[in-house]
Structure 1
Amino acid sequence: MVLAPLQVTADALNYTWILVVSFLIFFMHAGFAMLEAGQVRSKNVANQLTKNLLTWSVGVTVFFLVGAGISSLVGGSGFASAASTSGTGWIDWLYGAVFAMTAATIVSGAVAGRAKLRAYITYTFLLAAVIYPVVTGVTWAGAYISFGGAAFTDFAGGMIVHGMGGIAGLTAAYVLGPRMGRYNEDGSVNVIPGHSLTFAVLGTLLLAFGWYGFNVGTSAIIGGDGAFLGDQLGRVAMTTTLAMACGAMGAGLMAWVRTGKVDTLYVANGLLAGLVGITAIPHTTSWWGAFVVGGLAGIQLPLVFGFVEKRLKIDDVCAVFPVHGSAGVLGTLLYPFVAAPGVVDSVLNAFVAQVIGVAVIAAWTILATGAIWAALKAVGQARVTPEHEQEGLDVSEHGVETYPEFGSGDSVVADGGMVSESVRADGGSKDD
């Protein structure tokens, strides 16, 4: 069968668009690498960078051989590995793979500073092969979740990718336990600051850039009837941008209300939380709804992080749960309340469908992630030794120092690491 010239042109444009946005989403790994490297101690930077590199390398390979097929199987189409497809089928696989690897790399920030590399890679393997594909199988592939005629809605992965990754990170961090020195015997919290706020903000902006591929890229350019999808593209671009901005302002405002200071890292993470919040619903949300979703996602960030840190006593190093988990849940549940006129037939039915979807994804993620990390912990393979943790994972796991000029120091900080008070930023001595 020979396709009409118009159909050929539409397919060419849409698949070229998919490739471009896939490259944008892949580039988000540079953002994750910088964001996480900036939020860990200098003695753990190489470890964090290595985990980001191997998340992609191991995960995308496993998703090609197994994960895509599992998603198809759960979705009701039978097992179809990406290895058995060809042509544009491989473009579809790549597009799915960059989403899958985003969910996987989120976890690395939660378990930073104490997880064994082999344990993290084992979990990444299983997440790419089974955990994430099951989630996409019951949602995007199978569309099994609905209530009263209203289907579970998640346009670009606000819950399916980010909510799932944030919940997985929180679960893994809980099983693994906090870093050395994070909590005192009386339960009070010690702050273990990251080594580079500059890297963290750079990573934030790189992620925000790639996010346009995540959200706007999820919309095709030309519809099945040959019509240009300009209305949807415009709405997604608008709501993504406004929610991003309001997330940063909301987090900064809440930090100022609580402490009298506008915390830079909260502003950065709030910007990301605003993006996560809108990711499930950018195609349906009204302009004012983008303000609501982004603002609330930013406001909840300091509150949820404080609850996780002080009440739950979970050491979520890079705040992946308040940024990705709770923000993803929030935005997904707000769908029927902030939708543009005429989008939702029944607010109640749509809300219940969203609640069911969130509950199913959360339950599966917690059970699967908890079981894997508990098994690794039971055989002594989840966490590095106290000596290696104090020495730093760069040396103990990789045999390198990210900043060799600062290899020795004079002051001990909460986690047992050292800080030099006599070395300048350029590596020279203050006494010179």
Structure 2
Amino acid sequence: MAQVLEFKLPDLGEGLTEAEIVRWLVQVGDVVAVDQPVVEVETAKAMVEVPCPYGGVITARFGEEGTELPVGAPLLTVAVGPQAPQALQATGGDTAGSGNVLVGYGTSEAPARRRRVRSASLANGTAKEPAPAPPVPAPAAVPVLAEGPVPVISPLVRRLARDNDIDLRQLSGSGPEGLILRSDVEDALRARTTPAPAPVAAEPAARVSPVRNGIRIPLKGVRGAVADKLSRSRQEIPDATCWVDADATELMRARTAMNAAGGPKISLLAVLARITTAALARFPELNSYVDTGAREVVQLDHVHLGFAAQTERGLVVPVVRDAHARDAESLTAEFARLTEAARTGTLTPGELTGGTFTLNNYGVFGVDGSTPIINHPEAAMLGVGRIVPKPWVHEGELAVRQVVQLSLTFDHRVCDGGTAGGFLRYVADCVEHPAVLLRTL
């Protein structure tokens, strides 16, 4: 007789205690293999796929898309065992559990395409359906407005439409080939708030303010985690900022020469990261954090370099592990890998935590300067503005040079202005005269 096992939302690590269901990857009646991803969830760290540690037949799912569940809450039930439907046996799948309960990790190869259960006995009409899961309270029914072959840029846009009762089938996407973007859904929400000639049903109180019209966006998931971290940084860290303009002409020429020599192209961010790690080796006070309980400054002997990345889901800070031990080629490759993972929402919690210093290249947004909030609990953040042609006195004459503004926001508890200024000046010297960096290679 088949045994029905319950799979609960696993411990996600990194202190995470809950997750929101973004998208179910399986349906009731599907056959799943051991460690096959069954649901996509969003935590405060990232959006990840959860693999099921059992192989068998899905008999029940718990929670609609958009539902937030605590760790340990039931996700689904799976029928396993020697009497499992023959459809599972035909796949050669393993019905034993893997024991794996960590998000994003599995022990099997890519799972076979799922198939709906229909055993031979059922086809002959001589047997009943597989034993159902133990009775559980059914989740509250919600109208499914975003199902079907509607081209949507991401599950988050689909969820935004569902939460606000927007029928995606009624929208005309402004993206490529009619792809529905977040702006399309937001335009529909704004149109809804326009006064109508006849009375219309009021918006749900949870979404629209009774005082004025507008869109209410919950601070949860990644956005909520960022908000909490920035608030904590402002409350705990007495920060200060210093900045300097630097002539980046020679740095740009050096990068061009490196890329002309053949081999993988070196990114500007990688060159700046290499300068940053060299500066931290000279000024280790800035590669630290404050242990408030012990009233101690903890200086670290490794550099896990975070870099700010703007995505559709908001600001994230992926971390390059052991950046101090990487050359420019290795840094370029790792920046590219993490940036792509950030864009697709597949960063793991481990890739978003543990940073010791952050490099913020806000110049990509076309701005010259910024005074960012430190990524708590780090002690400093180096900001890099856009590199643009400007008048500059070079070798005693006025010339047009490639100029960049550099800024350093630092925790005044870990060092004074002299140390911070020395760090920033060294970075600027390396930008203006890349040969200075050779002394630390």
TM-score when normalising by structure 1:
0.22
Higher relative contact order, chain-length normalized (CA < 8 Å, sep 6+): 1
TM-score when normalising by structure 2:
0.21
For the pair shown, the structure with the greater C-alpha radius of gyration is 2
